[in-house]
Amino acid sequence: MTSPSDQASDQQPEAKLRADAERNRDLILAAARRLFATEGLGVSMASVAREAGVGKATLSRRFATREELINAAFADRMDGYAGAAAEALADPDPWHGFTGYIHAVCAMQAADRGFADVLTMAFPAAKALEARRKESYDDFVELIARARTSGHLREDFVPEDLVILQMANAGVIAAGGDAAPDTWRRLVGHMIRSYAAPGAPIPEVPDAPTPTALYRAMVRLARSGPCSARTDAP
């Protein structure tokens, strides 16, 4: 017959294992978010393991694939992305809601380089992430229809134009880096102007970066290699 003390000793290792597993998961996600935010999604799984201070086997047990890790690391970001679309739809001024949403999602890209990549890529295996993306897309389609009806959004604007903007914005963010970090704001300002129908109230376009800042960004881009291949090598 098992004594109460034996049962307690059996339960303690189990509880410790669960606590260790949860701690490792938190360490991995924190490390992945840091690396994705500064370096984009091209960082290797081995780099994430090193940053987290865990072995590659531990990482694989928690997240068997890159898609699983990306899904978990950006779940909260995608919640914010979907929430921005819902908030824009709640704006009583459809054009203001539309322009506010464009700026909000581009700001999210600028705040996190990894998220900038996520918004311009598809991850079919990351089902939760793609579900939130679909939800946001459906709200954006409705937002477009409302903004068109207001007479302030051009009739030829289509949802794919947002994807094009996000791709362009991701490139500007990556190229500007620390040398010209706010360059994306001017890009977005000009793009919003291009989306406006005649007579629509147009927000002011932010100032351009200084020639010196742009030069530093160009030098940085040349040194890093704009076409450098991303690999998953350790």
List % helix, strand, coil for the chain (3-state, nearest 5): 70, 0, 30
Structure confidence by residue, pLDDT tens digits, 133-189:
888 889 999 999 999 999 999 999 999 999 899 999 988 998 888 899 999 999 999
User: 48 pLDDT exceeds 50?
Assistant: yes
151 in the same domain as 90: yes
59 in the same domain as 98: no
166 in the same domain as 66: no
92 in the same domain as 68: no
Q: Which of 2-16, 160-174, 214-228 has the lowest mean pLDDT?
A: 2-16
Domain of residue 130: give its range.
75-224
Helix (H, G, I), strand (E, B) or coil at 196: strand
Instruction: Examine the fold and report which residue of 22, 38, 73 is the final residue of a domain before the chain moves on.
Output: 73
234 lies in some domain: no
Task: Take residue 75 and report the two structure tokens written for it.
Answer: 């779940």
32: CATH = 1.10.10.60
The rounded distance, in Å, linking the Cα atoms of 97 and 111 is: 21
| Number of domains making up the chain | 2
Q: Which residues contact 150 (CB under 8 A, 6 or more apart)?
A: 93, 94, 95
43 in the same domain as 138: no
Q: Which amino acid is at 225?
A: G
Task: Take residue 104 and report the two structure tokens written for it.
Answer: 């909000």
Question: Does the predicted model carry a pTM greater than 0.75?
Answer: no
Question: Higher pLDDT residue, 34 or 40?
Answer: 34
Task: Quote the pLDDT of residue 10.
Answer: 52
What is the rounded average pLDDT for all residues in the chain? 85
The rounded distance, in Å, linking the Cα atoms of 44 and 82 is: 28
Question: Higher pLDDT residue, 113 or 135?
Answer: 135
Give Cα 142 distance to the centre of its chain.
22
Task: Quote the pLDDT of residue 7.
Answer: 53
Q: Within a 10 A sphere around the Cβ of 128, how many other Cβ atoms?
A: 13
91 in the same domain as 67: no
Instruction: Examine the fold and report which residue of 21, 43, 73 is the final residue of a domain before the chain moves on.
Output: 73
User: 127 pLDDT exceeds 80?
Assistant: no
Residue 151 backbone zone (phi > 0: left; psi -120 to 50: alpha; other: beta): left
Task: Quote the pLDDT of residue 123.
Answer: 74
